[in-house]
A and B are shown apart, each in its own frame.
Chain A
Amino acid sequence: MDPVLTKYVREPNSFTLDFYLKHDGYTALKKALGTQPNDVIETVKASGLRGRGGAGFPTGMKWQFVDKKIEPRYIACNADESEPGTFKDHVLMERYPHLLFEGCLIGCWAIGAKVAYIYIRGEFYHVQKAMEAELANAYAQGYAGKNILGSGWDCDIVIHRGAGAYEAGEETALIESLEGKRAQPRIKPPFPALSGLYNKPTAVNNVETLCNLPAIILNGAEWFAKLGPEKNGGPKLYCVSGHVKRPGVYEASMNTTLREIIFDMAGGIRDGHRLKAVIPGGSSVPILLPDQLDIPASFDSVQKAGSMLGSAGIIVMDETTCMVWAAMNLMHFYKHESCGKCTPCREGGDWLWKILSRIERGEGQMRDLDLLVSVSNNIAGKTLCAFGDAEATPPLTTLKHFRAEYEAHIREGRCTVPADWRARTAVAAAH
């Protein structure tokens, strides 16, 4: 498949308005403004576009749920890209920001919003500054702000800087953060489509999702749907990181298999090593083993294989990776990022990290393995947002596939897979 979203991102000056206008920039917006908002929603529904942030919920349906009787309405663009292993939106925003602006404006037209807030993570300040400069150009030339393209329609785009909170990627927590509060999730329902930002109807969409809109409007719903398997249409960005030769962002259709992405596009495992495990959709999803990779990297196929495509952050680990350590590393992330609102997640994450740490140090006992499962199962499904399920995943999935490794740690009283890239102190302690 020829790249759609990342076709131009490697070209010099691809981020400028001039470049964008020379490559069909803002023509989709013009076309959309010539139709009724409801027609746009119907087109997006027919295309089958699914949210690229992780859940894979159909975007057209999300927009249809937005309560059109209440004013004002908002688009909140989720640019708080912080799922470990994910770095796709960064490329689009840094190298092709006008695509996102156009996507935001088409979204606003569809649901009748007058403002789109782009919530960008605080660590992407260099991206934000570049985007703000380009946004000013778009305003100056009438592609945003008042009387867009002479249509008489006004719409603003505001870039809002976060300040370092993974939880702000959850849609209601993002809204809380936009309102100037702690990024903590709300109780759902009501869903943001009915009561979101400032208690007004809000559509929260991922950057990549919005970036798909111009192509759908220009080429039609049928073209988009045919790019991938049924119900998994369109181009998809995959982020490959870890022990591969060429880590990076790769665009492909969802017909492509995970093996093709890892071995053909990303160059395969580094020399002299072999594949041990793959996390296919960001750190929050279950592990796939080397013999499970011959499946299309689509939302539905990966789910059938027992994991999730999530944000398509593919983390590849070779045989030097200790799975107890990997779970401990991720658990440090989750205990640190837990927002603290729900007790199981706030306390449980810390417990899990402590248990994993003592096993990794060689101080674990066999009963700790049952304890890990018990604590994990008391977090998953017992919290307001999906963070709890994500937090319970690393210990459960590593225990399921690599129980022998845990038992070896406990039996021998040391880490049995001390890689040469780990901390020198940790490696020394293991011998």
Chain B
Amino acid sequence: MSFHPLMPYGSQEFQRSERTLVSEGEAFTFTPDRAAKLEEICSKYPPERRKSAVLAALYLVQEQQQYITASAMRHVAEFLRITPAEVEDVATYYVMFFKAPVGKYVLQVCRTLSCALAGAERVVETLSEKIGVPVGSTDPSGMFTLLEFECLGACDRAPVVMVNNEHWHEKATPESCAKLVDDLRQRGVSTLTGCHLRVER
């Protein structure tokens, strides 16, 4: 079947839109404390510019239910008095918002040049073998999601692994990462090295 009558060539694969719809998900409302927090964030912008808080709102959605759903985006739109399309526009653009369920720990390995020069490719390989899934997927137990990430801005402590959009593990090696997976299972994010600038405090 053709996408357009004047363009009868190309396979179906070629013509398929890459746009994937974000799943509907369960009915969503912010918990009262998150709603209050978002209202406070909105107050930092001019009253008619509540839209500026959309990134903060989506982070709060993610904090509450791990990933973004269509019903959550509608709730955010209502909260900020903008259209659901405006929220979806933003949610699907920024890489730190997950549009599908992810594991309890999302491991994002920096793959850009400085980290790659320090062996990030091997770190990714090791993590993939250890978790047992290819990059971009979640293991069957729902514990780990393995992703590659572009420059995290910590090139002096390369390679860096970011966990759950927040916690850092610096100077990763294939050996330290194999251990990391075991330790995360047992002790959670406290096992990470953290950002050295923070640790030095």
Contacts and interface: CB of A to CB of B under 8 A. Distances in A.
B26 interface: no
B168 interface: yes
B191 interface: no
Interface stretch (B29-37, B108-116, B136-144): B108-116
B113 A315 contact: yes
Interface stretch (B9-17, B99-107, B154-162, B178-186): B154-162
Nearest to A326: B113
A384 interface: no
B115 to A, nearest CB: 9
Nearest to B117: A242
B59 A130 contact: no
A86 interface: yes
Contact of A249 (B51, B119, B156): B156
B121 interface: yes
Given A87-B153, A333-B150, A179 B121 contact: no
A10 B200 CA distance: 8
Nearest to A83: B151
B201 interface: yes
A241 B114 contact: yes
A283 B56 contact: no
25 contacts: A10-B200, A84-B114, A84-B151, A86-B155, A94-B195, A122-B165, A123-B153, A123-B162, A123-B165, A161-B55, A162-B55, A179-B51, A180-B53, A181-B86, A182-B93, A183-B93, A183-B94, A241-B114, A242-B117, A283-B112, A317-B117, A421-B118, A421-B119, A422-B122, A423-B125
Interface string A143-178: 000000000000010101111111000000000011
Contacts of B21: none
B155 A241 contact: yes
Contacts of B158: 241, 247
Nearest to A179: B52
Contacts of B93: 165, 182-183, 339
Interface string A417-428: 000011111100
Given A333-B150, A423-B121, A85 B155 contact: yes
A208 interface: no
A121 B197 contact: no
Given A180-B54, A181-B89, A163 B96 contact: yes
B113 A95 contact: no
B95 A95 contact: no
Contacts of B49: 179-180, 198
Nearest to A89: B153
B131 interface: no
A86 B119 contact: no
Contacts of B200: 10, 12
B34 to A, nearest CB: 15
Sort A-B residue pairs by CB-CB distance and give the 9 closest, nearest first. A241-B155, A163-B94, A180-B51, A423-B121, A164-B96, A247-B156, A164-B95, A180-B54, A241-B114
A350 to B, nearest CB: 12
Given A85-B114, A164-B95, A248 B121 contact: no
Contacts of A10: 200
B56 A241 contact: no
Interface in A103-124: 121-124
A312 B87 CA distance: 36
Given A81-B153, A123-B165, A241-B114, A130 B97 contact: no
A240 interface: yes
B44 A87 contact: no
B150 A12 contact: no
Nearest to B122: A423
A198 B46 contact: yes
A139 B56 CA distance: 22
A218 to B, nearest CB: 25
Nearest to B58: A163
Interface string B170-198: 00000000000000000000000011011
A401 interface: no
